[in-house]
Amino acid sequence: MQNRRHRRLARLAVLLCMVVLAPLIAACGGQPGGAQPGGATAPAAGETTPAQEPGTGQAAAGDLAPPEQQILRVRLVAYPETIDPALDENTSEEAVIKQLFTGLTRMNTELKPEPAIAESWEFNADNTQITFKLRESKWSDGQPLTAKDFVYGWQRFLDPRTASPYAALVTGVIAGANELNTTPVSDTAVLEQAISGLGVRAVDDLTFQVDLASPAPFFPSIVALGNLSPIRKDLIDQYGDTWVEPGRLIGNGPFILQSATAGADLILVPNPNYYESPPKLQQLIFRTINDDPTALANYRADEIDLNDQLPPAELPALRADPTFADQILSGTRLGNYFYGFNSTQPPFSDVRVRRAFALAVDRKTLIDQVLNGRDIPAHSFIPPGMPGHITLEEAGEAAQVFDPEKAKALLAEAGFPGGQGFPPLTIAFNNCCSHDLIAQRVQSDLQTNLGVQVELEPREATTYFGEVRRNPPPLWRQAWIGDYPDPYDWDYLVFGPESDQNYGGWSNDEYTALLDRAAAATNEEERIDLYKQAEKILAEDAGALFIYYYGRAGLVKPWVSGLSFTAQDPVLGAYSYKDAQILAH
């Protein structure tokens, strides 16, 4: 998901191997043999049990703070532009929506789909249809939830009148989805026919069936995302676009929206009708703090309990400080930090220019000096630990590596020797989270190594991605945090020729042909190999300037317990706030 859809920790390497090696299966169920709750593997005889990560573990009743202190305060880097599941497109929005709505499945700590509202699911013989059996559950107002609520929610998500920015999530996956999403809104009769033709149906109140455009073994992972939540049609009919306001929004997640202060706080309280029983927290507060140093100051002052992003310059001091060293949560995320090119307009319509920019950035120095070693230099798109990732050796000459001499030669070949005649250029980025420091280093590299003049253009974080999607600048900061652990979510969803996430309009016929072959492949090894071939083309043709694979460094207060973390978390621990508890302190 865009910046999420922007997620691991000390045991990450083991868990990611399990994600890669264990195929997503049609049946649902518990942990693999030998695994402990939360995904940690039991130590062998004579081994030392790993130290407990901050914020995890279960507390004894006598260690808990009183009910009135059961409040968890979580930092958001940007106030959600929306909390409507159909319009969800970034990590801040997803983190909040996951508390208000629960989908058919959810992802466990091993990034495998497990039952949520669906008790079980089953594919047909050729994997072109999947049937979900729902458990009995209720909306937050006590009304029964049925399969029809999923039918309506998904139809609305793909209805072109909704104008979802994230419809590409399933337009190539669900039968009839692309046809519906591309139907002209002016033709009401055809639009209604396309809605009824979408491959989703309520067989009965507790049976939801989906027809797939092609075999999609990863589909149970997709339906864990907020976009595919159930929706109450009566709320939309009554309130229109204002149905998500406090007092109107009715969800089926663990929390209810109590209040929202635009640009600042969202306060959530327990849903008494949540199917797993209400959370122990009495309040979950999302606090918007755009600036990393300000967020750290708030954390030091005990005004927030979870801080997902730390100022890179502060990392050495925090690691050396005995007060905070045990509160740092480190690891990696299934993410890539990159700069997008508007490939439909000169100068970036020329592959030589894009490639020159990709070879002009010294990623290792940027990471060492600006980010204090938190992240990993990127030479391609899909990160390590994901199916479809290509190593530096596999990428070969296609890899995006620092080569200033070759970069200069390519730019000269494109007609801009030493940067002469290159049009004025700005780097757009959202004004939070040290993006300015990274942009300054990229600016310096481009000016020094290519001779181009670059200005910086910070933009308001709340509206940034909507602006970029609607009117992509020549060069902008972007990122991708995996929605689910499959290369379809990366190569197709972000750079596919028909994807609404392909903001810069990059396309390559050979790349597209490989994606089409991968979608039709029935052999998993062949499918992944096709994605690896596509990755090489994407890197060499410079569909974007890939900078680093995400690391993670966050802070969790010692009085927080009950959380679990994954490399896919939209915000630190967001999949598990329903299980959080606050210790006496």
DSSP string for residues in 54-111 = TT-S---GGGBPPGGG-EEEEEESS--S---GGG--SHHHHHHHHHH---SEEE-TTS
The span from the CA of 106 to the CA of 98, in Å, is 10
Residues 6+ apart with CB under 8 A from 42: 34, 35, 36
Residue 50 confidence (pLDDT) above 60: no
Predicted local confidence at residue 497, as pLDDT: 86
Q: How far is CA 101 from the centre of its chain?
A: 17
CB-side neighbour CA atoms (13 Å) of 82: 18
Residue 473 sits in a domain of what CATH number?
3.10.105.10
Predicted local confidence at residue 26, as pLDDT: 29
- Over range 424-437, report the average pLDDT: 90
Predicted local confidence at residue 29, as pLDDT: 30
* Banded model confidence at residue 564, pLDDT cuts 50, 70, 90: very high
The two three-digit tokens of residue 381, written as one number:
């798109």
Residue range(s) defining the domain that contains residue 379:
332-551
How many domains is the chain partitioned into structurally? 1
The answer as to whether 208 is a domain residue is no
Q: Which is nearest to 488 in space by CA: 216, 127, 268? A: 216
Predicted local confidence at residue 142, as pLDDT: 98
Residue 95 confidence (pLDDT) above 80: yes
The answer as to whether 234 is a domain residue is no
The answer as to whether 118 is a domain residue is no
Beta carbons of 496 and 168 less than 8 angstroms apart: yes
Predicted local confidence at residue 7, as pLDDT: 32
Predicted local confidence at residue 1, as pLDDT: 57
The answer as to whether 296 is a domain residue is no
Predicted local confidence at residue 222, as pLDDT: 94
Residue 188 confidence (pLDDT) above 70: yes
- Over range 214-231, report the average pLDDT: 93
Residue 114 confidence (pLDDT) above 60: yes
Q: What is the pLDDT of residues 245-260, one digit of tens each?
A: 999 999 999 999 999 9
Predicted local confidence at residue 343, as pLDDT: 96
Residue 14 confidence (pLDDT) above 80: no
Predicted local confidence at residue 40, as pLDDT: 33
Predicted local confidence at residue 552, as pLDDT: 85
The span from the CA of 496 to the CA of 214, in Å, is 16
The answer as to whether 97 is a domain residue is no
The two three-digit tokens of residue 76, written as one number:
């958001």
Q: Which is nearest to 257 in space by CA: 150, 100, 412? A: 100
Residue 17 confidence (pLDDT) above 50: no
The answer as to whether 65 is a domain residue is no
Pairwise pLDDT comparison (5 vs 83), residue with the higher score: 83
The answer as to whether 268 is a domain residue is no
Q: What is the pLDDT of residues 353-385, one digit of tens each?
A: 999 999 999 999 999 999 988 899 999 999 998
Mean pLDDT of the chain: 89
The answer as to whether 175 is a domain residue is no
The span from the CA of 161 to the CA of 173, in Å, is 20
Predicted local confidence at residue 413, as pLDDT: 98
Residue 330 confidence (pLDDT) above 80: yes
Residue 77 confidence (pLDDT) above 80: yes
Most confident of 315-324, 352-361, 492-501: 352-361
Residue 5 confidence (pLDDT) above 70: no
φ, ψ of residue 481 in degrees (nearest 5) = -110, 125
In eight-state DSSP terms, residue 421 is: T
Residue 214 confidence (pLDDT) above 90: no
Residue 269 confidence (pLDDT) above 90: yes
